[in-house]
Structure 1
Amino acid sequence: MSSYQTIGSPVLYGGLKLKNRIIFAPTSMGVAPDEMIERMRQIAAGGCAMIVIGDVSVLPHGFGPSLYSKKGMDFYKRLAQAVHSENCLLCAQLHQSDSNLRAMFKYVPGVLTKKISKAELRPLLNKEVGPYITGMSTAQITKIIRAFGRAAVLAKQAGFDMIQVHGDRMCGSFSSSIYNHRTDMYGQSAENRARFACEAVRSVREQLPDIPIDYKLAVRRENPHYGNAGVLESELPVFIPLLEQAGVTSFHVTLANHGELEDTIPSAKHPYFGQEGCFLPFCDQVRALTTLPVCGVGGLTDPDFVEQQIKVGRMDCAAMSRALIADPQWPNKAMSGKVNEIRRCVRCNRACLGGMMAHKGVHCIYEKEIEQ
């Protein structure tokens, strides 16, 4: 008998019954559509309860497959079919990019001539977020908010079982006093800065009254400073009740983005987030403010650690990306007592984050075809 009874136990996660406590966290895989579907099928076959698909744009234009095009809808339907065939559920992470495309164009010549490196481009684009969010018209805001509802309907038609509203990206930038300098009803106070995210959630809820809505709650911390978008720890007591009232049924808690990628995807050598379960202190704060289910994420690799943290109630579910990329069979091996056979993620970030940064797709050092 497996000693990982809690990991293997079913749970009602925001109204959706999951067969166990392991979720594949949203990941920008950067691979071709057919490879993406097969990779997700393999992860589903490995025993996790649900896969969250990131980068699902709420507007017709955006990066990656579009719910609004026949090609994009066909992709998502094939993806849902593949994942469901392995007795695994599927969640669509709806987001709107906060990148100012017009501002991006002015950096194109520098990138093409290699005067601006890819590493230098990210902070330059982050500096454009504040003016973009602050200067956005209310008509454009209304258009994007309505699109969350429309995209959710399309996602359900494609076969998704749950909607996750991405609390980073545009929702996170509106939430953050670092980027949001508006003086209207969407700015200044924490309540006003929460409005965009709450209206996005409400848009989904109005279109789909019964669908479970997960919210990726991106938390920003100070002393030391990590993350620029998202919700300041001290503002969680304001944001969480408002999000609940808007229709959120569960929280996926993590560190806010718009800083270094090595912070939100920390290696074992990270100066602050090097430990296992590095973002769980944020879960502790959220847990104290809500009775809704909470999903933890961040450097979760060890079955003993994960079992204990769920057992003591720090989180209801554990979301993993790198650990399941290293070994899709992690859940099956843990729950069948074959934990010694798990290919453990060592959080080296060489072929996963490294592959993403090099535009070669997310892989793992365990894959034979990857040069080490």
Structure 2
Amino acid sequence: MMYETILSPIHYGGMQLKNRIIFAPTTFGLSDEEYLAKIRAIAQGGCAMIIVGDVPVGKSRFEKSLFDAKGFAFYQQVVKIAHDADCKVCAQLHQSDSNLLAMFKYIPGLLLKKITPDQLREKLNAEVAPYITNMSQRKIHEIISGFGKAAALAKQAGFDMVQVHGDRMCGSFSSAIFNHRTDEYGGSAENRARFAVEAVSAVHAAVPGMPIDYKLAVRQENPHFGNAGVVEEELPVFVPLLEQAGVTSFHVTLANHSALENTIPPADHPYFSQPGCFLKFCDEVRQYTDLPICGVGGLNDPDLVEQQLASGRIQCAAMSRQLLADPDWVNKLKNGQAEQIHRCLRCNKKCLGGLMAHQGTRCVYDALREKEAKNA
């Protein structure tokens, strides 16, 4: 197979990409040095764009923030590494919906091993609804204006695009499961869309002309997966409102706030075991927009990816685990070496498993790659 579509350039939401492969936003939990080495390998491996996950829309004690000099300089470094390899970079702007005050009361139990990290996740998820429902309008407006300020800083740091993270706080406001407000930010689908729409509008006003991707987290009932995000039946309300607010492309995936294995499904997942497991959500979104759509979800087989792109079902394919397993995925296709690709097993052992065990996001192929590099 020639992989002509994968390797063909595309005009993606107001920006030219050299091919159709995007590195999906990923939480790494690595040292700066290791993180930058991963970014370098992925950029040099040939993908068209890297989405840098979890860029906060305010000052942060836990994450690298554009709002302090050190964080800003770090992101400039990331951008330079990518641009040196002719790879575009997108900043995923997000606001956490974890109630930090609530979190502090669980820390002693966690340290004394009275509660497990999984139980902590459940407890924090239970805090989301009261946090979102009781948030003051003053705080809402402060966070929304933070999206605009962060976008302006991202542009200054050299990012080519920004993505508004439609899960986390945007997704929790969108979801009737978490949002029980009675003001204009709650109730009807239009009102629950307001927070996300205003966040996008703030970005659009701050960086007119800069492409805005929206990570559209879709919640599925029947069977039930995800608690935040947009329930399938409400896509006809949300998608046009987001597009009118300034979104130029959609990155479509499953909503979160349930087990992480659902949004990062292993090959033995009871429901999302198939490669391309989230593409059906792209089909649903397609009914309400003509904008470019990026699909994601266990995409490791180049033949399948080529097929989905060539048919026009999606315009770009995003992958994280596959590019961790083999950063040279695109270059190998270009050089006619498809059979030499280390194909992601979707085992989740060292990527999601490593992150959960606080050892950082790694891959079972890492040792093999080091050996190959030595012998090269």
TM-score after normalising by structure 2: 0.97
Residue by residue over 1:243-278, the C-alpha shift from the partner in whole angstroms, topping out at 9 and shown as x without a partner, is 001000000000000000000000000000000100
Distance of 2:63 and 2:74 partners within structure 1: 11
Distance of 1:79 and 1:34 partners within structure 2: 11
Q: Which residue of 1 aligns with 2:312?
A: 313
Deviation of the 1:369 alpha carbon: 8.6
Distance of 2:359 and 2:99 partners within structure 1: 25
Deviation of the 1:136 alpha carbon: 0.1
Deviation of the 1:335 alpha carbon: 2.4
Distance of 1:335 and 1:312 partners within structure 2: 20
Residue by residue over 1:205-251, the C-alpha shift from the partner in whole angstroms, topping out at 9 and shown as x without a partner, is 00111000000000000010000000000000000000001000000
Q: Residue 92 of structure 1 contacts residue 164 of structure 1 at CA under 8 Å; is this kept in 2?
A: yes
Distance of 2:344 and 2:9 partners within structure 1: 25
SS of the equivalent of 2:96 reads coil
Q: Residue 227 of structure 1 contacts residue 257 of structure 1 at CA under 8 Å; is this kept in 2?
A: yes
**RMSD of aligned alpha carbons:** 1.0
Deviation of the 1:367 alpha carbon: 1.2
Distance of 2:349 and 2:368 partners within structure 1: 14
Amino acid at match of 2:180: H
Q: Which stretch has the larger CA shift, 328-337 or 230-239?
A: 328-337
Q: Which stretch has the larger CA shift, 63-72 or 125-134?
A: 63-72
Q: Which residue of 1 aligns with 2:286?
A: 287
Q: Which residue of 2 aligns with 1:342?
A: 341
Q: Which stretch has the larger CA shift, 332-341 or 121-130?
A: 332-341
Q: Which residue of 2 aligns with 1:224?
A: 223
Distance of 2:188 and 2:317 partners within structure 1: 32
1:114 and 2:113 aligned: yes
Distance of 1:331 and 1:187 partners within structure 2: 44
| Matched ranges for 1:241-280 at <5 A | 241-280=240-279
Q: Which residue of 2 aligns with 1:363?
A: 362
SS of the equivalent of 1:309 reads helix
Deviation of the 1:16 alpha carbon: 0.8
Distance of 2:32 and 2:82 partners within structure 1: 14
Distance of 1:53 and 1:303 partners within structure 2: 23
Q: Which residue of 1 aligns with 2:72?
A: 73
Deviation of the 1:63 alpha carbon: 2.4
Please list every run of at least 4 consecutive aligned residues from structure 1 whose deviation after the TM superposition is greater than 4 angstroms: none
How many residues are treated as equivalent by the alignment? 369
Amino acid at match of 2:68: S
1:57 and 2:46 aligned: no
How much identity, in percent, do the aligned residues show?
Answer: 64
Q: Which residue of 2 aligns with 1:156?
A: 155
SS of the equivalent of 1:90 reads strand
Deviation of the 1:62 alpha carbon: 4.8
Distance of 2:38 and 2:62 partners within structure 1: 20
Deviation of the 1:56 alpha carbon: 0.2
SS of the equivalent of 1:368 reads helix
| Matched ranges for 1:134-213 at <5 A | 134-213=133-212
Distance of 2:303 and 2:250 partners within structure 1: 23
Deviation of the 1:61 alpha carbon: 2.0
1:11 and 2:35 aligned: no
1:133 and 2:156 aligned: no
Distance of 1:150 and 1:277 partners within structure 2: 35
Distance of 2:100 and 2:226 partners within structure 1: 22
Distance of 2:265 and 2:106 partners within structure 1: 28
SS of the equivalent of 1:319 reads strand
Distance of 2:317 and 2:334 partners within structure 1: 14
